[in-house]
Structure 1
Amino acid sequence: MKAAVIRAFGGPEQIRIEDIPTPTPGPGQVLVKVLAAGINRLDHYVRLGQINPHLPFPHILGSDAVGEVAELGAGVSRFAIGDRVIAMPGYPTNPAEAHIRPVTAAASYAIPGTHIQGTYAQYAVVPEVWLLRDTTGLPVEQIAAMPVALLIAIRSVQIVGEVKAGDRVLIHAGASSTGIMSIQVARALGARVAVTVQNEASAKLARMLGAELVIDSGKEDFVQALAAWTDGRGVDVAIDNLGGDVLARTIEAVKPQGIIVTMGFMAGPEVTFDIRNFFFTQKQLRGTLVGDIEDFAAWLEPIRAGKIKPVIDSVLPLSDAAQAHERIAGNQARGSIVLLPWAE
């Protein structure tokens, strides 16, 4: 099969298309013919060696995939050849831990493309229990753009952030993949949404998705803008995928007893803030990762109904994987990039 592999850490030029053996499904596993593979910013950091520096080479990047069942391992009973399926972008590799929730708490939890072989390939082996039947009827490139971003959004907004109808919610990096999904999840839950962006193109996209307040963080202070928007009260919930100094200021923007959810570090992995003010106002800082397979299943109907839609920057053949990573590395992508492993 053809796959986009890296044999060393580094820039996008490290990604090469190679012919490698097609994997064989073991007991309880399914061989999936990958019809579309989504690219996430996580893949960029993995390629640089910043996530798993002990990654064995050659390695296939990518965690998001939609495809068709091509072969069944022994004991597989949930699927048939030809079924269209969505692969979960992270799961325990130890079958004995399949029951653990959240799934990220399992000791053997692994992200394809980060800890185990990924989805930038024509085929991928996935345990049967971590496949979801795709009932949306939507084009494969649309679904492939969702798994990581949507599961982060569901987990951070609905489950950890406890967002409910009427809440005022801040979402940073509103034009990022997770920001795009978080806006839509929050809106679907009945919340009023404010976002930060860095340029007018991103602002236009956020407004199109339903953001009520769009703040260009390069031109205005988002804490002051949010104070004005909430009549000085502060937002109920803040979703921060930036970290660093942005997280420190985000804590200021949240109301007393409000919730700050953090799950990113693009602005830096370290943060300093006034702990006295934090506990006097009884604010809550909560960390999170991706959601569970049940979370994705619960949102399949809203996806099918068009309430949740990806914003796709580009759809490229697998052979253009390095070019796609150049767009990610240069912050040029507006939305998700999807690879088609079988396209010429």
Structure 2
Amino acid sequence: MRAMKAAYMKAAYIEGFGSADGIRFGELAPPVGGPTDVVVDVVATTVNPVDTFVRSGAWRTPVTFPFVVGRDVVGTVAATGAGVSGFAVGDVVWCNSLGHGGRQGAAAERVVVPVDRLYRLPDGVSPTDAAPVLHPAATAYLALFTRGALRAGENVLVVGAGGNVGGAAVVLAAEAGARVLATARADDEQYCRGLGAEGFVDYRDPELADRCREFAPDGFDLVVDAAGWNDLETVVDLLAFRGRVVVLAGLRSRPVLPVGPLYLKDGSVTGFVISRATTAELADAARTLNRLLARGRLRSRSVEEAPLSAAAEVHARLERGQLHGRRVVLRPDLDAV
């Protein structure tokens, strides 16, 4: 590995699965990369719902303790392996697939990233603007296009459009030329329309299904459920012929699946989790994300910044449901202030 050495680094890590208060903030030995790895000095990271699933053990994936939590990172290249090309020390880069599958996480001063999971950040894009959208937007992209096979002109229903993944799905579907109907809380309407939704329905509206049918009388070609309510009885009834439902939330949900209406429509219900996306799929998503980041089309609804040492607190707030539409960016440099 061409580069730097340090005796230790600060990191947010766990020594076993459990609650948020099990996250420690302290010193660990810095990671050592291999020939196809890139060492990155972290500028910004964040906390996703899936990070809480990994930390708690609710979603099992290979980890080695002590385990650094977190998935998304934006930073600068500090060193490259002998087999790495295309990146140089000082490049501003990002990754959204650390912290699972045997890879240590992003909540540290320094991380190691396999070169096939690393992407350049477009010039002029702030790391603190990029970090909070990387995971939600890539999730939305792969749900819409890789699993949902979205095409221009189709009718798309985004369930949970006020959240981070749902909001990104609205932007991406609208950019692709789809007609988008968003469902979320009533006070999310202006936000969702600003993202590109052509129509909006309050998810608590007792006439929700009828309102959806008014938007798409022939049914929806694609329904993306980012809310985790998983009301399959309603959404299957709203599908067009050969319509698709992609479910990407609802870890503990056990909904009723109306099999008869589904197969008579030649429809499908697909589950999707970005943690199982291939490196090729992630790279495909990254190209679109970078294009939209450069244009300023992908931004979090609300962002607050906190030191890396606040990781345990942010995990707890997320699990208590206190971050609706808001993202917390963790910055290692704030611990030095």
Alignment TM-score, normalising by the size of structure 1: 0.85
Per the alignment, residue 123 of structure 1 pairs with 110
Offset of residue 242 of structure 1: 4.1
Alignment check: 8 A CA contact 2:41 2:111 kept:
yes
Matched residue SS, 1:342: helix
User: How many Å separate the matches in 2 of 1:283 and 1:53?
Assistant: 31
User: How many Å separate the matches in 1 of 2:220 and 2:123?
Assistant: 34
| Letter in structure 2 aligned against 1:261 | V
Per the alignment, residue 16 of structure 1 pairs with 24
52-61 vs 22-31, which deviates more? Answer: 52-61
User: How many Å separate the matches in 1 of 2:220 and 2:36?
Assistant: 46
Match of 1:288 among 272, 283, 290: 272
Matches within 5 A, 1:38-57: 38-52=46-60, 55-57=63-65
Per the alignment, residue 277 of structure 2 pairs with none
Matches within 5 A, 1:1-344: 1-52=9-60, 55-89=63-97, 111-113=98-100, 115-198=102-185, 200=187, 202-231=188-217, 233-243=218-228, 245-266=230-251, 268-290=252-274, 291-333=281-323, 334-344=325-335
Matched residue SS, 1:310: coil
Alignment check: 8 A CA contact 1:244 1:270 kept:
no
Change (3 A) 1:331 1:215: farther
Tell me, which stretches of 5 or more residues in structure 2 are unaligned? 1-8, 275-280
Alignment check: 8 A CA contact 1:169 1:239 kept:
yes
Alignment check: 8 A CA contact 1:63 1:119 kept:
yes
User: How many Å separate the matches in 1 of 2:334 and 2:184?
Assistant: 34
Matched residue SS, 1:297: helix
306-315 vs 124-133, which deviates more? Answer: 306-315
Alignment TM-score, normalising by the size of structure 2: 0.87
Offset of residue 3 of structure 1: 0.6
Alignment check: 8 A CA contact 1:62 1:114 kept:
no
Offset of residue 199 of structure 1: 5.3
Alignment check: 8 A CA contact 2:230 2:247 kept:
no
User: How many Å separate the matches in 1 of 2:230 and 2:284?
Assistant: 34
Alignment check: 8 A CA contact 1:248 1:273 kept:
yes
Change (3 A) 1:76 1:230: closer
After superposition, the C-alpha distances for 1:180-229 in whole angstroms (9 at most, x for unaligned) are 111110111122212222452x3343233232332222343532321122
User: How many Å separate the matches in 2 of 1:316 and 1:17?
Assistant: 14
Q: What is the CA RMSD across the aligned residues, in angstroms?
A: 2.1
User: How many Å separate the matches in 1 of 2:186 and 2:108?
Assistant: 34
Offset of residue 2 of structure 1: 0.6
Tell me, which stretches of 5 or more residues in structure 1 are unaligned? 90-110
| Letter in structure 1 aligned against 2:287 | A
User: How many Å separate the matches in 1 of 2:48 and 2:122?
Assistant: 23
User: How many Å separate the matches in 2 of 1:76 and 1:48?
Assistant: 34
Matched residue SS, 2:333: coil
Matched residue SS, 1:256: strand
User: How many Å separate the matches in 2 of 1:227 and 1:298?
Assistant: 31
Offset of residue 31 of structure 1: 0.8
Offset of residue 55 of structure 1: 4.2
49-58 vs 75-84, which deviates more? Answer: 49-58
Alignment check: 8 A CA contact 1:165 1:191 kept:
yes
Alignment check: 8 A CA contact 1:61 1:114 kept:
no
Alignment check: 8 A CA contact 1:78 1:128 kept:
no
Per the alignment, residue 4 of structure 2 pairs with none
User: How many Å separate the matches in 1 of 2:180 and 2:83?
Assistant: 46
Offset of residue 322 of structure 1: 1.8
59-68 vs 252-261, which deviates more? Answer: 252-261
Offset of residue 53 of structure 1: 7.3
Identity %: 28
Offset of residue 38 of structure 1: 2.3
60-69 vs 207-216, which deviates more? Answer: 207-216
Offset of residue 21 of structure 1: 0.7
Matched residue SS, 1:301: helix
Change (3 A) 1:229 1:62: same
Alignment check: 8 A CA contact 1:88 1:132 kept:
no
How many residues align? The count is 320
Change (3 A) 1:302 1:177: same
After superposition, the C-alpha distances for 1:21-57 in whole angstroms (9 at most, x for unaligned) are 1111121111100111122110122222201277443
62-71 vs 131-140, which deviates more? Answer: 131-140
Matched residue SS, 2:180: strand
| Letter in structure 2 aligned against 1:263 | L
Offset of residue 321 of structure 1: 1.2
